[in-house]
């Protein structure tokens, strides 16, 4: 990308989901206090249910690639290992939550793998950017991706949804939602299957994938001041895959089971001045890997996490809120890589945190937070964060900024692997800041903004080829700019464009620059032609990237077109064309991606 193109991108000013979506939208992940988007002083992107519908995407990674500040790398097609880089950080530096359940596990060297997350029951996705360890402890050095599933309201609404398309892909889902003032519920079951092509280039075999997901959510409101939430999600997935070594890449497959549950109770007491909340979560992730045409077992990686959190939110005044809480988790793990590296054990952590949110002036928002974590393996860590925003009354210009610290505890594999483990590892640490401007124009029909960010990482864990074990040998810095614009061109025509500039410095010669583009542009044009027809056009430019071995991957441009047409009040047909330009590109060197593809489906609500 030349300098002229960069200047044009800056002039366009853009962002897909980073722009304020609606001033009354509530962000749950914020400082663990439900906060209107307009009062957020840290950067946050929101993907709404309407955004998901308009895109017609069905797998989470395919949707997140359009969010400013996020870049993706996948070793082949859907179902293959998927890594998410938030503002250039490592994938394991971003915490993933599903309805409040921590998904990052002890055996995830590349963060939580989102390859098998379907979207049919997702209501919205919130991406909170910058160091967030003050709120969530370890794993949130770069930010938080919070996935919120749907709940019901009103008369029971069963639905059936079926889709098919390129690469032998088909998907079927069914579910029901409904509820009243006492009970709201949602339940769904879905199946996704794809014959696919070879994950690795220059292979002829097909690496297929299958995914079965069951999801349910129950909200009970015994009184107007109390609520109980029960959540369950089960994923059973299997996929062929190609490894990156040798020439025979086509002899591997994996199967994975995930069980995600949470029970949560909250109540308003003391004349609505105190909200108290207690939650308990359980996560089980079992993964088996097979080699040599499916036999014998190559390895297994099993982990269970039991966690609990208790928080008290004090509404001291209309514009002053204090949250005090504790949380903790215990991870039990058991792995065998099939080559003699075997270990089992447990790790646990207890954290205490507090955050204070104030609006001392109508135009001023302040947030302060501090957290203390006591981990079973290393010394205690204290993190802190401060953020604020001020809106100029004369122009409506919002000035915002934040500063925070973070840490990432070593995983059990890094600590205790028979061949590569190092029990003396210290936590990775970070400190970062951001500063930005937001402006509403043309009676709120046009939003523009820009944010500059800078984060330094220390004690990064990498493989030490001198000691043949993991070690705290790396440090790095990531900095950049996110620029956005969102415009309502006509009442039914909306344009969103975003540009991200990323400059990663690997200060120790590690892998902190690999697979991250310096330049990324995303544009989304949505046209509600009528009450029954909607068209959506997406275009994304991803700049060139380096990969392992000193190789470089070329820049590419993706163009997708999606349409939805409501035949009757309860019947909708939809379709999408992906990679309209039939670009040949890579997100991991040597691995295939799909060319031009077509998908179509029908959804019926009873």
pLDDT of residue 418: 83
More confident residue, 326 or 293: 326
Least confident of 231-235, 284-288, 479-483, 527-531: 284-288
Q: CA–CA separation, 408 vs 271, rounded Å?
A: 39
pLDDT of res. 297: 58
> Where are the domains positioned within the chain?
3-199+207-268+279-605
Question: Can you read off the two tokens belonging to residue 411?
Answer: 């995983």
Residue pair 207/77 in contact by the 8 Å Cβ criterion: yes
- Between CA 27 and CA 473 the distance in angstroms is 37
List C-alpha distances in Å: 264 to 67, 119, 124, 148, 331. Answer: 30, 23, 19, 14, 20
Report in angstroms the alpha-carbon separations of 307 from 28, 69, 326, 331, 544: 19, 30, 11, 9, 41
pLDDT band, very low/low/confident/very high, at 300 (cuts 50, 70, 90) = confident
Tell me what the mean pLDDT of segment 321-347 comes to: 86
Cβ atoms within 10 A of the Cβ of 499, count? Answer: 26
Decide if pLDDT at 455 tops 50: yes
pLDDT in tens, 398-438: 999 999 999 999 988 888 888 888 999 999 999 999 999 99
339 has a pLDDT exceeding 80: no
Which segments within 491-586 are labelled E, that is strand? 493-506, 519-528, 533-542, 545-547, 551-553, 556-568, 571-578
With a cut of 90, say whether residue 540 has pLDDT above it.
yes
d(CA 402, CA 42): 6
Radius of gyration of the chain from its Cα atoms, rounded to whole angstroms = 23
- Band the pLDDT of 507: cuts 50, 70, 90: confident
pLDDT tens across 85-113, in order? 999 999 999 999 999 999 988 777 788 99
Residue 182 burial (CB count, 10 A): 10
**Dihedral angle over CA of 579, 583, 586, 587, nearest 10:** -40
pLDDT of residue 5: 42
Q: Is pLDDT of 45 > 70?
A: yes
CA angle (46, 184, 228) in 5-degree steps: 85
Structure tokens at 210: 């299958």
Is residue 331 within 8 A of residue 412, CB to CB? The reply is: yes
The CATH code for residues 3-199+207-268+279-605 is 2.40.170.20
Residue 338 has pLDDT above 80, yes or no: no
Share of the chain above pLDDT 90, in %: 71
Q: Is 414 helix (H, G, I), strand (E, B) or coil?
A: helix
**Mean residue pLDDT across the chain:** 89
Decide if pLDDT at 231 tops 90: yes
More confident position, 35 or 594: 594
Query: Structure pTM?
Result: 0.92
Closest among 197, 229, 205, 227 to 216, alpha carbons compared: 229
Q: Which residue has the higher pLDDT, 298 or 313?
A: 313
> Is the sign of the CA dihedral 495, 481, 555, 600 positive or negative?
negative
What's the DSSP call for residue 67?
S
Token pair 């390129």 in the structure block, residue: 166
β partners of residue 465: none
Q: Show the 3-state SS of 93-128.
A: HEEEEECCEECCCCCCCCCCCCCCCECCCEEEEEEE
């Amino acid at each position: 990308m030349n300098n002229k193109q960069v200047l044009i991108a800056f002039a366009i000013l853009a962002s897909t989901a980073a722009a304020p979506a609606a001033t009354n939208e509530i962000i749950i992940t914020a400082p663990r206090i439900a906060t209107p988007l307009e009062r957020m002083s840290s950067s946050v992107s929101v993907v709404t249910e309407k955004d998901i519908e308009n895109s017609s995407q069905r797998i989470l990674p395919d949707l997140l690639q359009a969010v400013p500040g996020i870049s993706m790398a996948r070793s082949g097609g859907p179902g293959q290992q998927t890594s998410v880089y938030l503002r250039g950080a490592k994938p394991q530096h971003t915490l993933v939550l599903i309805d409040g359940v921590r998904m990052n596990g002890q055996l995830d060297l590349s963060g939580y793998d989102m390859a098998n997350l379907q979207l049919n029951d997702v209501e919205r996705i919130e991406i909170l950017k910058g160091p967030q360890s003050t709120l969530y402890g370890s794993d949130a050095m770069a930010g938080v991706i919070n996935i919120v599933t749907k709940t019901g309201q009103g008369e029971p609404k069963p639905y059936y949804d079926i889709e098919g398309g390129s690469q032998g892909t088909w998907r079927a889902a069914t579910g029901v939602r409904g509820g009243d003032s006492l009970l709201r519920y949602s339940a769904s079951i879905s199946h996704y299957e794809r014959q696919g092509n070879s994950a690795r280039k220059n292979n002829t075999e097909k690496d297929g994938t299958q995914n079965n997901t069951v999801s349910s959510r129950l909200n009970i409101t015994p009184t107007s001041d109390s609520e109980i939430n029960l959540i369950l999600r089960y994923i059973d997935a299997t996929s062929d895959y190609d490894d990156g070594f040798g020439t025979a890449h086509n002899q591997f497959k994996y199967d994975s089971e995930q069980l995600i549950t949470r029970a949560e109770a909250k109540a308003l007491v003391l004349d609505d001045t105190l909200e108290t909340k207690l939650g308990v979560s359980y996560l089980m992730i079992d993964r088996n890997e097979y080699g040599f045409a499916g036999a014998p077992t190559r390895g297994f990686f099993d982990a269970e996490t039991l966690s609990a959190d208790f928080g008290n939110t004090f509404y001291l005044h209309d514009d002053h809120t204090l949250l005090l809480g504790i949380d903790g988790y215990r991870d039990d793990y058991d792995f065998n890589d099939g080559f003699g590296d075997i270990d089992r054990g447990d790790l646990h952590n207890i954290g205490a945190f507090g955050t204070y949110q104030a609006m001392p002036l109508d135009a001023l928002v302040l947030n302060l937070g501090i957290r203390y974590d006591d981990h079973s393996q290393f010394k205690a860590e204290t993190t802190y964060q401060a953020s604020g925003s001020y809106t100029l009354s004369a122009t409506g210009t919002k000035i915002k900024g934040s500063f925070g610290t973070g840490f990432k505890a070593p995983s059990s594999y890094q600590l205790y692997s028979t061949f590569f483990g190092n029990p003396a590892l210290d936590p990775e640490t970070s400190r970062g800041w951001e500063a930005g401007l937001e402006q509403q124009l043309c009676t709120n029909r046009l939003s523009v903004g820009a944010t500059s960010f800078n984060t330094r990482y220390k004690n990064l864990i990498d493989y030490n080829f001198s000691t043949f074990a993991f070690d705290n040998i790396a440090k790095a810095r990531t900095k950049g700019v996110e620029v956005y614009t969102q415009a309502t061109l006509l009442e039914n025509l909306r344009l969103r464009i975003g540009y991200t500039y990323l400059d990663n410095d690997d200060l120790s010669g590690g892998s902190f620059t690999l697979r991250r583009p310096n330049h990324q542009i995303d544009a989304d044009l949505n046209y509600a032609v009528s009450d029954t027809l909607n068209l959506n056009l997406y275009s994304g430019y991803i700049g060139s990237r380096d990969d392992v071995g000193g190789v470089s991957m070329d820049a590419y441009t993706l163009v997708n077109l999606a349409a939805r047409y409501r035949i009757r009040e309860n019947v909708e047909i939809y379709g999408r064309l992906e990679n309209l330009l039939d670009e040949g590109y890579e997100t991991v060197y040597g691995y295939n991606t799909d060319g031009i593809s077509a998908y179509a489906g029908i959804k019926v609500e009873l």
